[in-house]
Amino acid sequence: MTFNRRQLLSIGAVGALSACTPASVNSPDTPTSSARPPSAPTKPDWDLLARHVKGTLARPGSSTYDAVRLVQNPRYDDNRPRGVLTVASDRDVATAISFAHDHAVPIVVRSGGHSYPGYSAGGAPGTGFPPSLVIDCRSMSQVSVDGANATIGAGAALAQVYNDLGSAGRGIAGGSCPTVGIAGLAQGGGVGVLVRAHGLTCDAVTAMNVVTADGKSRKVSADDDADLYWALRGGGGGNVGVVTSFTTNTFAAPTVHTFYLTWQLGSAAQVVEAWTDWAPSADPQLWSTMKLLGGATHPSGPTVLISGTWLGPAAELDTQLTGLLDNVPAPATKSTSTKGYLDAMVAYAGCAQIPVSRCHTGAGGSLQRESFAATSHVVLDPLDSGGITDLLDHVEDAQTTTGVLEAGISMDALGGTAGRPAPGDTAFVHRQALMTVQYTATFANGSSAQEPTAYVRRFRRTMLKHWGNHAYVNYADHDVKDPLQAYFGENAARLQSVKKTYDPYDFFAQPQGY
């Protein structure tokens, strides 16, 4: 989950301001994959592929290629995939898998197109992928509600999910960025603004349709292909199959009370210490994020921002905030607002002033793609004074880092409902963590990513001695050492076992795959 200061203003100042060692597989009846080993490839007949799918294949030189090849981060605009297949069904996915097998064509899977290392770009330089066939699921975006359950296509973006569920009086816990695809979010775990009250996005998933490397379409759940179901809830996307839809539990759409607080950097040490003591152990109905952001868009110096949600009675919000505010200097800004679930989620997306139908970056959309670099931590222990000093030093460094528009750190509280499952109940292992952390740096589209990338990685490397090497797979980064342990910890061995069963020849290969 990521959102910038503009989005936070839209959220919190509503009414004042307007507005992103392998273990054996547990199930004794898990089927052995019939995925075939690599064979001598033949020359790809792309026209034949196009004729055998209901979706649309775009190839270099075709009229739609330059539009459909793009992902959300412009830093990967030099990608040149061998083709982008906008799939319309599970059968299209199976056809693409068979084609890729026959012709030894590398394949990548795309939902929203937000892969931080650019994996879903299908072959941008520096991403670790050769030019590939992209299986683009974005057209598989239907959302339907049946009582307390919902079926959500893998390509549905969060703005659409929130609109379709909220319009039916239902909700789901998820992130704030409107263009993030549900498939990437849920498969990696899914942190968001209601995570402490309702858990991770993956916790709501009761079943999935997934096409595995043998081309078989499976309906997986706790009762069917249970180990695959386990792996797809927190093990990251695109490693063991192509998920095409999700069945989820939903909850009655709540009233959401939001708050927004700011301080100058001089108060930051006290605020960081107080927030990290308070936020992960607050009432589960309360969630918050703390951001320290600097760079060219902050000419007067970095700013400290805290925003959050409260799902309890409105009259109790101030009481809930006393656990923080009694231990810090008075904030320079404090505002609150009350909205219905749909309006609150749209505000978090930065789309409060535009129709949901235009809350995207594609043709006809009102949002702009933004170049950024990012990496992550998952935090198990609070910072001591030395850790806070190191953190603040790097925030201040954003002011003098060449090419950075806005950069710093975002800390999103965990705990509450998200911390109730055991680490092995789903593939998302970080159940006892205090928070997830993003180090981010935005920069002008078309300019070099070198300095912004160096900034976020330097920041993370400094914090390793305080926070260890834990990281969040949905905020993946090539620079993370021992990524399997960083992302999955004690669950890595079981993930490797599931991979061996369902994709024994590593058809779904990734630079940080298992």
Q: What is the pLDDT of residues 11-56, one digit of tens each?
A: 333 222 223 522 222 332 334 445 777 767 789 999 999 999 999 9
Nearest-5° Cα angle at 178, 176 to 182:
85
Strands (E), 51-101: 56-58, 83-86
pLDDT (0 to 100) of residue 37: 76
Residue 349 Cα to chain centre, angstroms: 14
242-249/149-153 β-pairing = antiparallel
Confidence label for 473 from pLDDT (cuts 50, 70 and 90)? very high
Least confident range from 286-290, 346-350, 389-393: namely: 346-350
Residue 259 Cα to chain centre, angstroms: 23
Asked whether residue 166 carries a pLDDT value surpassing 50, the answer given is yes
pLDDT in tens, 50-79: 999 999 999 999 999 999 999 999 999 999
pLDDT (0 to 100) of residue 186: 98
Confidence label for 195 from pLDDT (cuts 50, 70 and 90)? very high
Percentage of the residues of the chain whose pLDDT score is greater than 90:
91
Q: Per the structure block, which two tokens stand in for 98?
A: 């068979």
Confidence label for 199 from pLDDT (cuts 50, 70 and 90)? very high
pLDDT in tens, 247-267: 999 999 999 999 999 999 999
Q: Regarding predicted confidence, which is higher, 130 or 7?
A: 130
What φ, ψ does residue 450 adopt, rounded to 5°? Answer: -60, -55
Buried b (16+ CB within 10 A) or exposed e, 416-446: bbbbebebeebbbbbbebbbbbbbbbbbeee
Neighbours of 23 (CB within 10 A): 15
pLDDT (0 to 100) of residue 32: 43
Nearest-5° Cα angle at 172, 211 to 439:
85
Buried b (16+ CB within 10 A) or exposed e, 362-385: eeebebebbbbbbbbbbbeebbee
pLDDT (0 to 100) of residue 8: 39
pLDDT (0 to 100) of residue 42: 81
- CA separation, residue 134 to residues 29, 78, 180, 188 (Å): 32, 15, 17, 19
- CA separation, residue 179 to residues 111, 244, 279, 348, 469 (Å): 10, 17, 27, 12, 29
255-264/303-310 β-pairing = antiparallel
